[in-house]
């Protein structure tokens, strides 16, 4: 499975591609940080992020795009920019027919480091180690994008099994209700 991890942002948007080979094996493919000038108009900044992401989707052909779920921050302006960049990425993936998955920062940290409250340095160190990189990806947005991709590689099989189990459970419940309704009809005069 090839995953494009995206750490969304307007000033810096991290992009990282990882191949998951089953189990915990992951392989580095590419990483980049898209930068847009803070003084540029919002539409231009979003277009800059979007153009780069669109190129990455076409070039790397991911099976899924994993995006960091926007979480509440103290700075509303930062949250809005992050959410807008995230929306552009999700839209471009959907247009390309690529599924999108969202992961919270704590899910990503827990998957990669074993601790949901790990610091950026710990995440960067583990990403470097897990992917066998000669040097740490910089800035942190690059490491975060790779961590998102790794997280999805590891969590996707479990999430798929859970979805299948829920679907089976819903089907069994539907059949049971149908049998009960049929039995009630037989008993009624």
Contact residues for 105 (Cβ-Cβ < 8 A; gap 6+): 68, 69, 71
Angle at 31 between CA 60 and CA 48, to 5 degrees: 80
Using only the alpha carbons of the chain, give its radius of gyration.
Answer: 20
CB 35 within 8 A of CB 91: no
Catalytic-residue membership of 7:
yes
Catalytic-residue membership of 121:
no
Q: What is the DSSP annotation of 83-98?
A: HHHHHHHHHHHHHTT-
CB 10 within 8 A of CB 45: yes
Choose, from 68, 107, 121, 171, the residue flagged as catalytic. 68
Catalytic-residue membership of 160:
no
Element holding 1 (H helix, E strand):
none
Choose, from 39, 63, 135, 141, the residue flagged as catalytic. 141
Residues annotated as catalytic are 7, 68, 141
């Amino acid at each position: 499975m090839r995953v494009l991890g995206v750490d969304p942002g307007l000033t810096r948007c991290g992009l990282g591609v990882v191949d998951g080979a089953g189990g915990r094996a992951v392989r580095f493919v590419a990483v980049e940080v898209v930068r847009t000038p803070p003084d540029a108009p919002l539409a231009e900044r979003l277009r800059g992020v979007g153009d780069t992401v669109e190129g990455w989707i076409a070039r790397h052909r991911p099976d899924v795009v994993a995006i960091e779920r926007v979480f509440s921050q103290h700075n509303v302006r930062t949250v809005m920019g992050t959410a807008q960049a995230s929306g552009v990425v999700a839209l471009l993936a959907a247009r390309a027919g690529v599924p999108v998955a969202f992961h919270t920062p704590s899910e990503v940290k827990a998957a990669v480091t074993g601790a949901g409250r790990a610091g950026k340095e710990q995440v960067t160190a583990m990403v470097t180690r897990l992917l066998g990189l000669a040097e740490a990806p910089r800035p942190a947005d690059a490491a975060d994008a790779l961590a998102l991709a790794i997280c999805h590689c590891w969590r996707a099989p479990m999430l798929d099994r859970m979805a299948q189990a829920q679907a089976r459970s819903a089907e069994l419940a539907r059949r049971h209700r149908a049998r009960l309704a049929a039995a009630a009809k037989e008993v009624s005069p």
